[in-house]
Chains A and B, each alone.
Chain A
Amino acid sequence: MKKFKNTITATPGTTTENKTGGWRTYKPVVDHEVCIGCDMCNKVCPEGVCFATGQKNSKGRIFYDRDLDYCKGCGLCAKECPVNAIKMVSDYK
């Protein structure tokens, strides 16, 4: 039976092996003190990489952050954030 040298199929979950953060031009920076923990960034993120950190800020709210390994910098989270806690800043290296 034919054995392939290079794998051309993928099992569930293996998409995360491809870190796509390098495609980004701008990265979102979250101001943890301003964040109200409303979950809007998580809802609109096309990549599902905005998440509740589980940590609390000085106002006792659980704040959000994002996973830069996969964030492509689309800016939807910054656009939709009701309290402007997210700023898009240049990720030029």
Chain B
Amino acid sequence: MSRLQQNKKQILEGSHAVAEIVKNLKPAVVAAYPITPQTHIVEDLSKMKSDGLADFEFINAESEFAAASIVLGASSTGVRTYTATNAQGLLLMIEVLFNIAGMRLPVVITCTNRAVSAPINIWNDQQDSLTIRDAGWLQLYAETNQETVDLHILAYKLAESLMLPVMVNMGGFVLTHTFEAVEIPETSLIKKFLPDYVPPKDSILDTKNPRSLGTFAAPDRYMEIRQELFNDVAAASKEIVKQNLEFKKVFGRGRGNGLIEEYKTKDAEIILVAMGSVCGTIKETIDELRAKGKKIGLLKIISFRPFPDNGIARILSKAKCVGVIDKSISIGSEGVLASDIKRACFGKIKAPIKSFIVGLGGRDVTRAMIGKIVNEVKDRSIEVKFIGK
């Protein structure tokens, strides 16, 4: 028996790995718009359905707006649901995504991060999901395909215990179209961590107990409802840490504390901050530069919403310089992650925090570029720096 078989690992394309884990998570309804910018995830899921390997209802929608509406409706009846999209597709879903969060439905979607038009570009960056950071969804970012698979299991656990929707973000192409060795947990093992979904009794559509969802709230009630959503998303940090520990017990692996992961930050003079697939390249570069005596570390953000304020300042306070690497930009401001890092550190650390923009529209982020960032992180003359070469 090969080592791969012993480890139960398979060589899978990222999209296919997500389809495999979604199948094992047993959603009752999968809806998707099947054309660009869709990925192999839902293509594989529809094939599993037609081959008789899965029981879910598979609904082809006429747009991402419809796909999101279908999972909203299905989730309202108290079942597990799934859809995937990215880029323009995610933007078309926006109105429904705010409704899903406001209605406290535990929908899980995969966003295979891609650039937003115009100009038309189907390649990877994180502009799509970061544009909708305020929708009320939990947003988790994966570095590898194994992490993507694991975050999907965690996502349903968090969604169903907190009654909040969760978006699992994986790098479009960088992960979705890359083959890696991954372990896909079987349904029997998953059930030890994630039991069947039992919806709260009085918050679903049920003909025997009729009730309206997504109803009207006048000025006397709206604000308290929004505040409760805010408080619950903020409090989700604790649940993520707790469930990450539980996950490690059941599956024997996990990352950091579930919210963040530190890589060689203990003695680091320069700490880079990033999230998603770019972290792999950064870690490689750190190893290379450390061999040459440069003390560099990485703070990887796994949970962007809720933003893990606690701990970030403590980690970054040890550094002399901080460089935040974004694959997105808030036009007219700076990198989206950079803004939040600055907010979390305000008044708590002395090191300057600089915003670097890389990899927009699928531009490859090389080790040489990360090296360049390390060299330029001390330069305080410019606030936002684009590293294109």
Contacts and interface: CB of A to CB of B under 8 A. Distances in A.
Interface of A: 1-6, 8-12, 15, 18
A59 B304 CA distance: 73
B151 to A, nearest CB: 21
Interface stretch (B32-40, B221-229, B346-354): B221-229
A1 B211 CA distance: 19
9 contacts: A2-B162, A2-B200, A5-B228, A6-B221, A8-B102, A9-B211, A10-B212, A10-B215, A12-B211
Contacts of B200: 1-3
A72 to B, nearest CB: 14
B80 interface: no
A11 to B, nearest CB: 5
Contacts of B203: 4, 8-9
Given A1-B198, A6-B228, A8-B203, 11 more contacts: A2-B161, A2-B162, A2-B163, A2-B200, A3-B200, A5-B228, A8-B217, A9-B211, A10-B215, A12-B212, A15-B216
Contacts of A11: 210-212
A18 B221 CA distance: 11
Interface residues of B, number: 23
Interface string B188-229: 000000000010101100000011111111100100110010
Nearest to B199: A1
Contacts of B216: 15, 18
Contacts of B215: 8-10
Contacts of A12: 210-212
* Residue among B198, B210, B215, B221 having the largest count of chain A Cβ atoms under 10 Å: B215
A9 B163 CA distance: 14
B104 interface: yes
B103 interface: yes
A8 B163 CA distance: 12
Interface string B159-174: 0011100000000000
B216 to A, nearest CB: 7
Interface string B283-320: 00000000000000000000000000000000000000
Contact of A8 (B162, B210, B218, B225): B225
Contacts of B102: 8
A27 to B, nearest CB: 20
Contact of B228 (A1, A4, A9, A15): A4
A18 B217 CA distance: 9
A14 B15 CA distance: 46
B168 to A, nearest CB: 20
Interface string B220-246: 010011001000000000000000000
A36 to B, nearest CB: 36
B211 A10 contact: yes
Contacts of B104: 2, 4, 8
B174 to A, nearest CB: 35
B196 to A, nearest CB: 13
Contacts of A15: 216
Contacts of A3: 200
Nearest to B213: A9
Contact of A6 (B198, B212, B225): B225
A4 B199 CA distance: 13
Given A4-B104, A18-B216, A18-B218, A9 B161 contact: no
A1 B319 CA distance: 42
B71 to A, nearest CB: 18
Q: Which 8 A-B pairs have the closest CB atoms?
A: A2-B163, A10-B215, A10-B212, A6-B225, A9-B211, A6-B224, A11-B211, A6-B228
Nearest to B164: A2
Contacts of B213: 8-9
A2 B228 CA distance: 12
* Residue among A8, A10, A11, A12 having the largest count of chain B Cβ atoms under 10 Å: A8
A1 B221 CA distance: 23
A51 B213 CA distance: 30
Contacts of B212: 9-12
Nearest to B227: A6
Contacts of B217: 8
A17 to B, nearest CB: 10
B156 to A, nearest CB: 14
Interface in B139-153: none
